[in-house]
Structure 1
């Protein structure tokens, strides 16, 4: 099979294997660190976790990633990417050790969040650097396959890291000391990623030193103007704009229910709440995986907008009833459905953007998409913090999320035909 041949060919590329190792270790570290942040905020016995605290943690995790993303490339085109990956992972290892010390010393929350904010901000340079470096270690014929393998391996590594962090937290009995140990595990993995990076030649990942680049201030201003131009182009491509609005709404709904599940795990489901949170992450990830298998057929059968209609309708109909029980097994089943529906709609939205936005604007539009995607999630956490009671049981929030999914389903059925849609 051609795919198996391509995978076998990638496996023979030494530099690709090394870059993939850096990605896997880096994203596994991210999963461990983010799980440690979640358990500290939600499950620490000495803390009374609240929806507002969860919203703050999500802002720390996602907003730096979003707002730094469009500008990271300006620096990555100036710095040697191998050195960027090396020093950023070393910096994250040191910062993670500092974060562990803050946890163990029971430092003020603002200081802990500031440390975590820097760790997640540096993360954006690592992920962008990994993506920018891939064409330097893979030839053009295998690049599409490599672009499929690398992010998928990174996502699996992050999920596995988060799951392992929950297990370590449970084995150590919980508390700030356990969270500090988990953060130290992430520091060790960050250090491993740095060591894996050091095995590559300094100039391997580019950029070419003889490239003529504009001054930094000019480049940053140009990036900001480019994002504004991308937004104007998106307004002209109404089908793509409608797709992004639908996806942002579904992401908002996903974020609101995520905060609800966190509160249920903390207060309503007893001492096994941390294990149930890990199970919720796993089953939602299984839903993501199922959508990757089913969406090509669904989009081919119903069209991309039609598939968004189907996914949103499925979430509107199948999610509320089990969630309204507020019991673990029905909520886990709903998490699977919600994960599949949200990811299926996202894949369809990605395709709409790719096929309706002109090539010269596509990168800028996807940068805006990334910001919108994460801001919607954080915004949902903020709204949930105002609506949810401490134990997470809110029928009104569940009904509101169902209405949002229903509205997306109706709107997607009326997406405009875009003359630029190829």
Structure 2
């Protein structure tokens, strides 16, 4: 391997610095934020994801709840496909760039490019352009956004010690998800101020450019090479390296037990969540009515997003503690079980309060699983391939969610009331739980057979460490 540009040869990342202390100590938010590099990377993430929240909610208002446009389940599924699929096509190849080019420069350029594309999309919305033109512009914005998020995740181990990755990642990812919900809430408020038509939706969407510009400015303050990659194991020809992105990321993921098993769990969550998401949108638009302070329509979608954001926040507060006490397998299995119970118990009544509570629990438990998988990627995958693994990660789960939404759109009635689909989503969670346990068992058996010398015993790993 050769050192990456800007990385000092022989200088390990912060994740590689040995630390003799026990695995159960925690830094806490105050000490995490006291680290300048972590604080700056977090601020860049928050700015970017606030802009994402404004953009996606503004676009949803323009397409799903705009009185000048009509939608049906398949049209809504198409809108979600635009928001989720863009990065799936380019992600594995872009991931190779994250493992080859200076990530600091990538984050700056990508955020600036996203700002330009946000303004282009806003112009199309204001002009009343729909269909392929609007979807293509939104596709580009979302694709660049996912690229930025993968770069942020791949950079984190350079700023946080390995044994604090679960905690550092939980705080960063959860804060980002919550600020994205705040951005969505801002978009709802701005739409009320600017109006519900194409002109108002365009102005709301354009505000998202502020997040991109702020994120680029913050990322530019890092030193060149400080975010990695530390070393590059790819061919000298950039295009050859890019073309190998998907295969390399998949191989690296399959070699890591925690990552491979976590993928099985998250695939199940994404599929079940996708079905629930479409049913929720349809219920809010066509079936539910206001109940006291609870609202249907676009305000109801904002309340559902707020409930989901509260679930993300709760997950960020408890995940590191659960993992430190019980280990990642228990955290993942418990989250999948709770999600299945919430899906069935709160989904079947199909009332507005039950759906909001389900949004809190299902989103929160899904975030617990995601945080565990993120930490597994950051701990078990080498820095030279970590960007590609995160890109494959995004590709698999976005495609899974879009497929689930599309299948649901073909089966669900327009008003969103489908008990059979609620039961099916519950079963998907249980299948994911079984798949997670089976992959861990198979992979651990294979690893033990390859690593354990004859006549020696395996020392148990500390609970909450690589588990």
TM-score (norm 2): 0.75
For residues 323-338 of structure 1, the aligned pairs below 5 Å read: 323-338=347-362
Q: Please, which runs of 5 or more residues in structure 1 have no aligned partner? A: none
Aligned counterpart, 2:94: 72
Following the alignment from structure 2 to structure 1, what is the Cα–Cα distance between the partners of residues 393 and 252? 10
Counterpart CA distance in 2 for 1:416 and 1:81 is 32
1:160 has 2:182 as partner:
yes
Alignment counterpart, residue 322 of structure 1, candidates 343, 346, 353: 346
Deviation at residue 383 of structure 1 after TM alignment: 0.9
SS of alignment partner, residue 43 of structure 1: coil
Q: Provide the C-alpha distance between the structure 2 equivalents of 1:133 and 1:247, rounded to a whole number of angstroms.
A: 22
| CA offset digits 1:120-169 (Å, max 9, x no partner) | 12223433444455577x58699847655543443332221112112222
Higher helix share: 1
Q: 1:347 to 1:156 in 2, by over 3 A?
A: closer
Say which of 59, 83, 101 aligns to 2:123: 101
1:247 aligns with 2:266: yes
2:284 to 236, 247, 265: 265
Q: Quote the Cα distance in structure 2 between the aligned partners of 1:90 and 1:71.
A: 20
Match of 1:112 in 2: 134
Q: How far 1:2 sits from its partner (Å)? A: 5.0
Match of 1:380 in 2: 404
Answer yes or no: is the 8 Å Cα contact 1:233–1:361 preserved in 2.
no
| Alignment partner, residue 315 of structure 2 | 291
Q: Tell me the CA shift for residue 394 of structure 1.
A: 1.4
The structural deviation recorded for 1:303 is 5.8
Backbone CA RMSD of aligned residues: 3.7
Q: Once the two structures are superposed, what CA deviation does each residue of 1:33-78 show, in whole Å capped at 9, x if it has no partner?
A: 1111222221011222222222222222222233433332433466
- Cα distance change of structure 1 residues 354 and 260 upon mapping to structure 2, 3 Å threshold: same
Correspondences of 1:19-418 after superposition (within 5 Å): 19-76=41-98, 81-131=103-153, 138=159, 144=165, 147=169, 149-196=171-218, 200=221, 203=224, 214-230=236-252, 233=255, 237=257, 241-270=260-289, 272-295=296-319, 304-348=328-372, 363=386, 365-409=389-433, 417=441, 418=444
Aligned counterparts of 1:57 and 1:284: Cα–Cα separation in 2: 20
Q: Look up the match of 2:455.
A: none
Q: Distance in 2 between matches of 1:190 and 1:359?
A: 29
Is contact 1:72–1:124 with CA below 8 Å preserved after alignment? Answer: no
Any conservation in 1 of the 2:101–2:229 contact (CA below 8 Å)? no
Task: State whether residues 306 and 413 of structure 1, in contact with CA within 8 Å, keep that contact through their aligned partners in structure 2.
Answer: no
1:110 CA drift (Å): 0.9
CA distance in 2 between counterparts of 1:360 and 1:76 reads 10
8 Å contact kept, 1:354–1:362 = no
Could you tell me how far apart the structure 2 residues matched to 1:206 and 1:415 are?
Answer: 32
SS of the residue aligned with 1:256? helix
How far apart are residue 289 of structure 1 and its match?
2.8
Q: How has the CA–CA distance of structure 1 residues 116 and 230 changed in structure 2, closer, same or farther, with 3 Å as cutoff? A: same
| TM-score, scaled to structure 1 | 0.82
1:72-106 Cα distance to aligned partner (Å, 9 max, x none): 24334665555443433332222222211111111
Aligned length: 413
User: Which blocks of at least 5 consecutive residues in structure 2 are unaligned?
Assistant: 1-25, 290-294, 449-460, 462-467
- More moved, 398-407 vs 329-338: 398-407
